[in-house]
Amino acid sequence: MAEILLFEALREGLDEEMARDPRVLVMGEDVGHYGGSYKVTKGFAEKYGDLRLLDTPIAENSFTGMAIGAAMTGLRPVVEGMNMGFLLLAFNQIANNAGMLHYTSGGNFTIPIVIRGPGGVGRQLGAEHSQRLESYFQSVPGLQMVACSTPYNAKGLLKSAIRSENPIIFFEHVLLYNLNQKIPDQEYTLCLEKAELVRPGKDITILTYSRMRHHVLQAVKTLVDKGYDPEVIDIVSLKPLDMGTIAMSICKTHKVLIVEECMRTGGIGASLRAAILENLFDYLDAPITCLSSQDVPTPYSGPLEELTVIQPNQIISAVEQMC
């Protein structure tokens, strides 16, 4: 077991897959000799060369389209968005090409592409650099979405995503890159469609993902001291949802709290709540509570930014009210 930071775990996973499969390549802004904005590809250009670490112009629509074309020819591209908000410029390529070409070609093409990079609400990065794109991409047919939250699952999920035949949007949170954790020295992969039971409990099911997992765990320390026993699940797979794991928990606790950084309107929480009501309504003893970010562009002001995002004290209050 070695203790490493989350961005180092991503680097390890990517390095192992590039060494294992010569078809894997990375493209994006400053991913080559600069080593990536968050140093996920540091040293790769010297190791793998300029054809597998492709520094691109500032043209997200162009290089994302190029990566999709590369995937159609049998390569396995990993696109790094310097900031996930910039990938809105490539929405057409991601939605109309990456998500649909396997279907519209009658199965003649597969699109094994991973689109990854930093997103979420950072520390005063401003509205355009604080996007939560999961709400944008969840309704696009043909796309798979995964959100990592720890160094351990970041490495295992990224390796599995690169090996997958599906187009995958891989969400990393900008404030988690320096999170450290011990991970195994030996190679491992993780299932892309499986939620993670973070903490077993019996009083209430808390469903969360990405950075909010850590806000929830911070709140849980206080809740346990107050006598509550919450069950915490990191849903990990934002699309498709692992309803099997979620259902097993709800059938035990009969109460659900969803905690997300996504926007309240049309966010992951809204889809999750709809799926639970449709499939598990009879097991609920209380209305589902969903704690989401405010439906406003993220302010640059630090205090205002903090007010738009769910904080641990709000999670504590919600659990106390529901239980």
Average pLDDT in the 157-186 region? 96
- 67/206 same-domain check: no
Domain count, the chain: 2
Q: Are residues 202 and 311 in the same domain?
A: yes
The full 3-state SS of the chain, as one line of letters, equals: CEEEEHHHHHHHHHHHHHHHCCCEEEEECCCCCCCCCCCCCCCHHHHHCCCCEEECCCCHHHHHHHHHHHHHCCCEEEEECCCHHHHHHHHHHHHHHHCCHHHHCCCCCCCCCEEEEEECCCCCCCHHHCCCCHHHHCCCCCCEEEECCCHHHHHHHHHHHHHCCCCEEEEEECCCCCCEEEECCCCCCCCCCCCEEEECCCCEEEEECCCHHHHHHHHHHHHHHCCCCEEEEECCEEECCCHHHHHHHHHHHCCEEEEEEEECCCCHHHHHHHHHHHHHHHHCCCCCEEEEECCCCCCCCHHHHHHHCCCHHHHHHHHHHHC
pLDDT of amino acid 65: 97
Domain that holds residue 98: 2-183
User: Which pLDDT score is estimated for 152?
Assistant: 97
- For 192-213, what is each residue's pLDDT tens digit? 999 999 999 999 999 999 999 9
Query: Where does a domain end: 127, 159, 183?
Result: 183
Same domain, 152 and 94: yes
Active site residue 196: no
Q: Are residues 33 and 170 in the same domain?
A: yes
- CATH number of the domain within which 79 lies: 3.40.50.970
Same domain, 142 and 175: yes
**Last residue of one domain, picked from the residues 140, 155, 183:** 183
Shared-domain flag, residues 207 and 154: no
Instruction: Kindly state whether residues 260 and 150 are assigned to the same domain.
Output: no
At 18, is the pLDDT very low, low, confident or very high (cuts 50, 70, 90)?
Answer: very high
What's the whole-model pTM score? Answer: 0.95
Domain membership of residue 210 (yes or no) is yes
Spot the catalytic one: 102, 129, 173, 215: 129
In a domain, 281, yes or no: yes
Instruction: Give the model's pLDDT for residue 2.
Output: 87
Q: What is the structure's pLDDT at 181?
A: 96
Identify whether residues 211 and 279 lie together within a single domain.
Answer: yes
Given the residues 8, 12, 60, 134, select the one marked as catalytic.
60
Residue 231 annotated as catalytic = no
Q: At 210, which CATH number?
A: 3.40.50.920
